[in-house]
Chains A and B, each alone.
Chain A
Amino acid sequence: MIRLYINNKEVFVVANISVLEACQDIGIEIPRFCFHQRLSVAGNCRMCLVELERAPKPVASCTFPVSSNMRIFTESPLVKKARENILEFLLINHPLDCPICDQGGECDLQDQVLLFGTDKTRDFEFKRNVEDKNCGPLIKTIMTRCIHCTRCVRFLVDIAGEDSLGTTRRGKKSEIGGYVSKALKSELSGNIVDLCPVGALTSKVYAFVARPWEIQTTETVDLSDGFGSNIRVDFKDSELVRILPLYKEDLNEEWISDKVRFNFDALKIQRLSTPFIKTEEGTRKNLSLESSFFLLNRNLHDTMLSFSLISDTNSDLITLQGIKALGQILGIRNVGFSKKYLVNADFQENFCFNKKLKKIESIDNCFLVGTNPRFEATAVNLRLKSRFKTGFLKIHSVGVPANLSYKTFLEGVTPTILLDIAEGKDNLCKELRVSQKPAVILGGNVSERFDFFGLEKILLSAQKYLVFSTLSRNPICFLTPEANLSGGLFLGLNWRSFVREQDIVFFTGTSKEEYDNKRLKNQSIILSSHNGELPSEAWLVLPILTFFETSGCFMNSLGLVKKTPKILAGPILARSRAKIWLNLLFSGSLPAQKNPLTPWLVKLGGIQKCESSYIFLIRERIGGKSLISRSPFLPGITDYYLSGTFSKHSINMANCSHVFRKFYKNFISVN
């Protein structure tokens, strides 16, 4: 702690921070445009000028480090005059766009001019013009509004790992842009809209939609990846118009991916609105809710039929437990997710990300196995990137070569390399051996491989190299790429047998992929929110609500249970998954069962720590051969923008996919 005087008040602050941060710590907000807590310091807007004793000129407080006995003045006439002049210069070339600018009302420039600027103009020259840049299908640019704070440039370079933007030319002619015209290709591009203090970068999706004072805001959790970023949802007249990140230090910080931000337009596209049944002629016949439930119940309890109960990972915990309970009651063995996960779900640490995200920033070695965190978990990738920036980190990967926005060392593409490592033939062993805080990140889709048992054994035996790491915790971080996959595994829905020929398949959620992949020909009962999810084999279809329209509990990859509130009204005849399943569960024709929901489900909502000693489900360990295959790892997500029910129906995501398809092939290697 060092002593200094701010506005003649004695304060003590920690050393090695800037004057701006010191002021912020004691509650004095210094106006700024270019400075941002999570970006590197640029010091080019000069808005944060303060007066220092014995300094000949005002200094930029964001770049100036504190020293002891420094005397800082933040409200002196000199500082006020300086701020006024800086703003006056900024406005000389700012276009008269407020009435047609999307930033109007939440614009830093407006706010600061109102607080610190003059109210009269002295300059009536012509304003300069700047050509707009192409920033992809999501970002709208009006570059004449730009005040060159370079936050977007620094974000893209430092955090997103994308170097297509920069500052060109100097003085009055300086511009943000690139030498070559190319679309901005980052899955995080939406964040520069939030960062831009003026209306130079705005969202194309939100263009001319709403003004900030018309907006109502709700907080919820996103379900497009396994971590569940905290988001803020904005409404105008009960219409969802915008999604913004919420600050959450130990999760998404303040960044979210474009998928989270822009895929909400799927809420209104191709929605199923009424239950229907396919007639013998092959046409659809609409049903009432009552008759569809009657049909559902009658068929489900018809002992002559055999069923498979399959859900996608977007179902909440209550639904999954309902499915599981009904399967147990009716004696249906074939209950589970549409994909098979061979992971041993007896222990929570086997399918959880066993590291707090904040701790990634202190790892000294990283080993990625069959995963692309850039697509599967943006939050993890951002932490890895930020750790990578600080240096002395080698990131090794086995699996599909991909550009993760930082340098990775590809050890191999097939699992055989793992065997080498386990046997100590690889250089990596040496590194792992000296590593104090290693992170081994295992992709969730690896557990879909039939040779997963073998791989797991190898990885576990490789643990012997991790001598320094604390072995009380499993060092292998299992990265679940989908929303409630951890929750499903927690409930033991990891494994099911193959769908038999004669089975009627009862799908909850996504079903088309299953049909397309496995070439199933069975009739099916489907609960779906979107029309595009329906395979032609659909027989009885009930519309369901999406997660924005119903409340529910979800477990994220870290093993935390997150609650989402109901924030929207869905189609009138649509019901939530949980409601439908509980209805089936408790309808009179079931065998008497007191409370099929296990008691621990009731207390969900708190944080469940993944401790190895906590055995919650005693199941037989799934047997398997310890073979490993020579077939290479497959990418978990092939088209980032079009994965997940929501994104598949989103026009925004389709546009992104169209533009970025040629860049976002997984086989582009950084090496």
Chain B
Amino acid sequence: MILKKSELSEKIKSFTINFGPQHPAAHGVLRLVLNLDGEVVRKADPHIGLLHRGTEKLIEHKNFLQALPYFDRLDYVSMMAQEQTYSLAVENLLKCGIPIRAQYIRVIFCEITRLLNHLLAVGCHAMDVGATTPMLWAFEEREKLMEFYERVSGARLHSAYIRPGGVNQDLPLGLLDDLMVFLYQFGTRIDELEELLTGNRIWKQRLVDIGVTSSKEAKDWGFSGVMLRSSGVFWDLRANRPYDAYKYLHFDIPVGTHGDCFDRYLIRIFEMRQALRIIKECIETLPGGPITSYNNKIVPPSKTETKRSMESLIHHFKYYTEGFSVPASETYAATEAPKGEFGVFLVANGTNTPYRCKIKSPGFNHLQSLNFMSKGHLVADVVTIIGTQDIVFGEIDR
């Protein structure tokens, strides 16, 4: 039997492959079902849930303080940003402000967190695309930054440092000096990264005009953060809806023009430079004073106080055993996390546990657009797009 060429071509159907969940470029446990026509992507179908831990449900059974460490574990490369969001939500419900010094400390560490996140995002993105060196360099800087985490909270990653009512403890002596030293050298590190990537022919070939998103599409798909700004939308919660100390600080917000992966890379680099600027300004203008709210009904009294004051002892005891009660109401708090708008919708029913805690993670919205962003691109570009979306499964699967 002789096959005619025309019959043969009819029988070629699209080819389906599983990308992940063990693929190193899948950024964790992404299972992506790719429908290929030759090497061209027809459909990209991301499957999620492999890292589901039931965080939202677990939070309903913890008191307001015990729920906090879960937020470190959502997006595990931008820990404090999420602690801050949750703390802001609880403070909204309690209608309590926090001291100005605590606001500045929060901003310092949230910007450190932004550096941590963007270093990982750019480094890993570069490695996915084929450049090994930027990741190694970025991770060296991350080590230094995590040491700042450790010095202030005792933990390198899951710090539980930003608490409702302020921060857990004051900055240790000398930390700001060392941070300043870090800032002075870090600009050069970004320059070095840029030397390797920004003008690099391969890097540009792989990134320019890949995953182009128009501003309308970006809004339609619910993008936020870098993904949204890359397509020309000026929207940054730090500037548009300032929280904590951002309203006192001066910084620029980069906005892209093309909405492609290269724009997003450039914005991340630019944001890192702006983060340095913000931290520097914070250090220079850091006010003195308390680091937590004065109200011991919602923040624990100092240990010293508990040795001599019965009121403090009772409040300390009850704070750490029963937790504090939050008046019945609901709130939505959102911050500009490194990956985009991270939000917490919190419903309190007057008890010491949240009635409901819905988490809005930016990565979830970004991942759902993978299909439309990678349609028509080659398989290799899917890796680029996943990299530029800065996917972390801790927050997507929750």
Instruction: Knowing A96-B307, A119-B296, A119-B301 are in contact, say whether A110-B318 is a contact too (CB < 8 A).
Output: yes
Whether a CB of chain B sits under 8 angstroms from the CB of A105 is yes
Interface centre among A96, A114, A118, A120 (most CB of B within 10 A): A114
Q: A104: nearest residue on chain B (CB-CB)? A: B317
B311 and A98 within 8 A (CB): no
A104-B315 Cα distance, complex, nearest whole Å: 12
A114 and B318 within 8 A (CB): yes
Interface string of B273-311 (1 = CB under 8 A from A): 000000000000000000000011100010001111111
Whether a CB of chain B sits under 8 angstroms from the CB of A56 is no
B317 and A113 within 8 A (CB): no
What B residues does A475 contact at CB under 8 A?
none
What B residues does A104 contact at CB under 8 A?
317, 321
A119 and B311 within 8 A (CB): yes
What A residues does B295 contact at CB under 8 A?
119
B308 and A114 within 8 A (CB): no
B308 and A124 within 8 A (CB): yes
What A residues does B313 contact at CB under 8 A?
96, 98-99
Whether a CB of chain B sits under 8 angstroms from the CB of A242 is no
Least Cβ distance of B301 to chain A in Å? 7
Interface string of A86-124 (1 = CB under 8 A from B): 001001101110110000110001110110011111001
Least Cβ distance of B302 to chain A in Å? 12
A120 and B321 within 8 A (CB): no
What A residues does B307 contact at CB under 8 A?
96
A118 and B311 within 8 A (CB): yes
A91-B322 Cα distance, complex, nearest whole Å: 20
What A residues does B117 contact at CB under 8 A?
none
Interface majority SS (helix, strand, loop, mixed), chain B:
helix
What B residues does A109 contact at CB under 8 A?
314
A120 and B309 within 8 A (CB): yes
Number of residues in A with C-beta < 8 Å to the partner? 23
What A residues does B312 contact at CB under 8 A?
119-121
A117 and B311 within 8 A (CB): yes
Whether a CB of chain B sits under 8 angstroms from the CB of A630 is no
B297 and A119 within 8 A (CB): yes
Q: B308: nearest residue on chain A (CB-CB)? A: A124
B317 and A98 within 8 A (CB): yes
What B residues does A110 contact at CB under 8 A?
314, 317-318
A121 and B321 within 8 A (CB): no
A124-B318 Cα distance, complex, nearest whole Å: 22
Whether a CB of chain B sits under 8 angstroms from the CB of A394 is no
What A residues does B315 contact at CB under 8 A?
113-114, 119
A113 and B314 within 8 A (CB): yes
What A residues does B318 contact at CB under 8 A?
110-111, 114
A96-B307 Cα distance, complex, nearest whole Å: 7
Least Cβ distance of A552 to chain B in Å? 34
Least Cβ distance of A43 to chain B in Å? 24
Q: A90: nearest residue on chain B (CB-CB)? A: B310
A124-B317 Cα distance, complex, nearest whole Å: 20
A477-B301 Cα distance, complex, nearest whole Å: 60
A592-B138 Cα distance, complex, nearest whole Å: 85
What A residues does B322 contact at CB under 8 A?
105, 213
A501-B171 Cα distance, complex, nearest whole Å: 88
A91 and B317 within 8 A (CB): no
B310 and A120 within 8 A (CB): no
What A residues does B301 contact at CB under 8 A?
119
B314 and A121 within 8 A (CB): no
B296 and A120 within 8 A (CB): yes
A147-B309 Cα distance, complex, nearest whole Å: 17
What B residues does A92 contact at CB under 8 A?
310
Whether a CB of chain B sits under 8 angstroms from the CB of A500 is no
Least Cβ distance of B304 to chain A in Å? 12
B297 and A114 within 8 A (CB): yes
What B residues does A99 contact at CB under 8 A?
313, 317
Whether a CB of chain B sits under 8 angstroms from the CB of A464 is no
A453-B162 Cα distance, complex, nearest whole Å: 81
Q: A119: nearest residue on chain B (CB-CB)? A: B296
What A residues does B297 contact at CB under 8 A?
114, 119
B310 and A96 within 8 A (CB): yes
A121-B310 Cα distance, complex, nearest whole Å: 7
A243-B317 Cα distance, complex, nearest whole Å: 25
Whether a CB of chain B sits under 8 angstroms from the CB of A211 is yes
A244-B234 Cα distance, complex, nearest whole Å: 64
What B residues does A91 contact at CB under 8 A?
310-311, 314
B-facing residues in A520-556 (Cβ within 8 Å): none
Least Cβ distance of A100 to chain B in Å? 11
A121 and B317 within 8 A (CB): no
What B residues does A113 contact at CB under 8 A?
311, 314-315
Instruction: Knowing A119-B295, A119-B301 are in contact, say whether A105-B321 is a contact too (CB < 8 A).
Output: yes
Name the one of A88, A111, A121, A213 contacting B308, with C-beta atoms under 8 angstroms.
A121
Interface centre among A88, A96, A118, A211 (most CB of B within 10 A): A96
A585-B116 Cα distance, complex, nearest whole Å: 74
B-facing residues in A589-614 (Cβ within 8 Å): none
What B residues does A117 contact at CB under 8 A?
311, 314
A119-B305 Cα distance, complex, nearest whole Å: 11
Interface centre among B305, B306, B321 (most CB of A within 10 A): B321
Q: A212: nearest residue on chain B (CB-CB)? A: B321
A95-B309 Cα distance, complex, nearest whole Å: 9
What B residues does A105 contact at CB under 8 A?
317, 321-322
Interface string of B325-369 (1 = CB under 8 A from A): 000000000000000000000000000000000000000000000
Q: A107: nearest residue on chain B (CB-CB)? A: B314
What B residues does A211 contact at CB under 8 A?
321
A117-B314 Cα distance, complex, nearest whole Å: 10
Name the one of A98, A124, A213 contacting B314, with C-beta atoms under 8 angstroms.
A98
Least Cβ distance of B189 to chain A in Å? 46
Q: A98: nearest residue on chain B (CB-CB)? A: B317
Name the one of A95, A111, A121, A213 contacting B311, with C-beta atoms under 8 angstroms.
A121
A403-B312 Cα distance, complex, nearest whole Å: 48
A91-B313 Cα distance, complex, nearest whole Å: 11
Least Cβ distance of A210 to chain B in Å? 13
Interface centre among B295, B311, B315 (most CB of A within 10 A): B311
Least Cβ distance of A51 to chain B in Å? 23
Q: B312: nearest residue on chain A (CB-CB)? A: A121
What B residues does A94 contact at CB under 8 A?
310
What B residues does A96 contact at CB under 8 A?
306-308, 310, 313
A117-B308 Cα distance, complex, nearest whole Å: 17
Least Cβ distance of A211 to chain B in Å? 7
What B residues does A111 contact at CB under 8 A?
318
A331-B296 Cα distance, complex, nearest whole Å: 76
Q: A95: nearest residue on chain B (CB-CB)? A: B310
A121-B314 Cα distance, complex, nearest whole Å: 11
Instruction: Knowing A105-B321, A105-B322, A211-B321 are in contact, say whether A114-B314 is a contact too (CB < 8 A).
Output: yes
A92-B310 Cα distance, complex, nearest whole Å: 8
Interface string of B141-181 (1 = CB under 8 A from A): 00000000000000000000000000000000000000000
B-facing residues in A328-351 (Cβ within 8 Å): none
Q: A92: nearest residue on chain B (CB-CB)? A: B310
A118-B311 Cα distance, complex, nearest whole Å: 7
Q: Which 4 A-B pairs have the closest CB atoms?
A: A119-B296, A121-B309, A91-B310, A98-B317
What 18 new A-B contacts, CB under 8 Å, besides A96-B310, A96-B313, A105-B322?
A95-B310, A96-B307, A96-B308, A105-B321, A109-B314, A110-B314, A111-B318, A113-B311, A113-B314, A113-B315, A114-B297, A114-B314, A119-B296, A119-B297, A119-B301, A119-B311, A120-B296, A213-B322
- B-side residues, CB < 8 A to A, are 295-297, 301, 305-315, 317-318, 321-322
Q: Can you list 29 A-B pairs with a CB-CB distance of less than 8 A?
A: A91-B310, A91-B314, A92-B310, A94-B310, A96-B307, A96-B308, A96-B313, A98-B313, A98-B314, A99-B317, A105-B322, A109-B314, A110-B314, A111-B318, A113-B311, A113-B314, A113-B315, A114-B314, A114-B315, A114-B318, A117-B314, A118-B311, A119-B296, A119-B297, A119-B312, A120-B309, A121-B311, A121-B312, A124-B308
- A-side residues, CB < 8 A to B, are 88, 91-92, 94-96, 98-99, 104-105, 109-111, 113-114, 117-121, 124, 211, 213
